[in-house]
Each structure stands twice: as structure tokens, then as C-alpha cells.
Homo-oligomer: A and B are copies of this chain.
């Protein structure tokens, strides 16, 4: 005879489950308001401390947003890619997942995004990509003039991120969009933490020019509806971007995807 293992979950977990189920099954929509903590403690027959712990978990995982003083109660949030970014960063913090795996994953996602973007017929999305590529070219021209290194680097990062974001959006796949953004964000966070391998002065300008050129090439493939070329170009770009900061061994990990 078989018995079911007795699951012994704490009260607050049961509350979390119920509310998550409500969101999942469409009984709670983003924008909806939950009852206040004092009401919830009655409906669940628990103390406020228990309700609070449940709310803390839901808040930390991005399910709801709480704000003190708002009589309308906690707000149910739509999904945001940031919710994915957190565990990704943590994954690389801990031993077990290396930075190169993150880069490999990004290479994979961005190249497939480019392929799909080149195959789409969404003209608005493709126009956005062109615009971003143009912005990068403009910045590259300005880079030669004496400008604050830090600001330049900052703006460079933002524009490049937007360019890739536009491509992911054009792919038409929200999962691809969200995971791509999360991985991109995670890599940015990691890079910001150890700011030793940052390019300086002339090297930064060269790097910027190269990226602008790469972006233009990739953009051409996309506008020309050339999926295979776009995929290859995207893979090349990402590889070149990280190449200098990787050991030979690490570069080998990326090689199969670049072809």
C-alpha cells in the first residue's frame, strides 16, 4: 500500500499559494487591489504577523506591491523581467555557474532574437531597431571629442542595451524578450560590480566605434529580411564584445555558437 508523503507547510506558505493561485487562474488581475492586512488576517484566520510574512514573500517575488498608507491596499503587479534577473544574478554569484555560461546564454538568445526579428513583418519594430542603430552611430561620432569618460561609457551602455532590447521586442516572443533582458541586466550588474576591466580613453572610443559598426551590419541584415545572416551577425557581435575579457578556454565555450 502506498501512502502520500505528509507535506508540512507553514501557514504563511498556504497564504502565498492561495494568492498565487488566484493570479494564475485569473481571479486576480494586475492592477487589482488585495484586502488590507487586517482583513486578510480574518479571512485566513491567522495573526497579522503571519499575513505579513506572506506579503513579504509576494512582494519579494514581484507578485504584489505594498505601500504604507494606501487605503486601497496592496496592488497586484504584472510580470516584470526584473523578477527573472534577480535569481540570474544570484546564480552567478554563487559558485557553480560561471560568467561565461551567462555570456553563452546571452549569445544564444540574442542570435535567435535577431533571426526572428529578420523574419518578422512588424515594420514599427524594425524601424525602432534602425533608430537605435542610428543613435549608436551618432554617439560614436561624438566619442572623438573630449567628453566625460564615465558619462560616455554610461550612455554607450544604455544605447547598446536599447538596441538589443529593440531586436528582442521585434522577435515577437515575450519570453525571449524577458529572459534576454534579464540576462543582459545580470551581466551589466556583474560588470558594474568589478569595474577593473573597463576600457579607458582611446580604447573606449575604439570599442564604441566597433559596436556601432556591428550594430549597423546587424541592422542591415534585419532590414533586408535575411534571418540567417542576422543570426550570424548577432552571434559575431556578442562574441566580439566579450572576446577581450575572456580567456582562450572560455572563448572555446562560445565557439560552437559562433560557428
Q: Which residues of A contact B (CB under 8 A)?
A: 12, 16, 20, 23-24, 26, 29-30, 49, 52-53, 56-57, 60-63, 78-79, 83-84, 86-88, 90-97, 101-102, 104-105, 108, 112, 115-116, 118-119, 172-176, 178-179, 183, 227, 253, 255-257
Contacts and interface: CB of A to CB of B under 8 A. Distances in A.
29 contacts: A12-B56, A20-B90, A24-B90, A24-B93, A52-B53, A53-B53, A56-B57, A56-B60, A57-B57, A60-B60, A61-B86, A62-B90, A78-B95, A79-B87, A79-B93, A79-B96, A79-B97, A83-B90, A84-B91, A88-B175, A91-B175, A92-B175, A101-B173, A101-B175, A105-B173, A105-B175, A108-B176, A116-B257, A179-B179
A20 B20 CA distance: 25
A170 to B, nearest CB: 12
Contact of A87 (B78, B84, B97): B84
B57 A23 contact: no
A24 to B, nearest CB: 4
A65 to B, nearest CB: 13
A39 to B, nearest CB: 20
A48 B49 CA distance: 11
Contacts of A119: 255-256
Contacts of A101: 172-175
A97 B175 contact: yes
Contacts of A53: 52-53, 56
Instruction: Count this chain's copies in the assembly.
Output: 2
Contacts of A104: 173, 176
A252 to B, nearest CB: 10
A197 B123 CA distance: 36
Contacts of A91: 79, 83-84, 174-175, 178
Nearest to A105: B175
A90 B115 CA distance: 27
Contacts of A12: 56
Looking at A52, A56, A61, A63, the one whose CB has the most chain B CB atoms below 10 A away is A56
Given A52-B53, A83-B87, A83-B90, 13 more contacts: A12-B56, A23-B93, A26-B95, A60-B61, A79-B90, A88-B175, A97-B175, A101-B173, A102-B175, A105-B176, A112-B112, A116-B257, A118-B256
A257 B116 CA distance: 8
A60 B63 contact: no
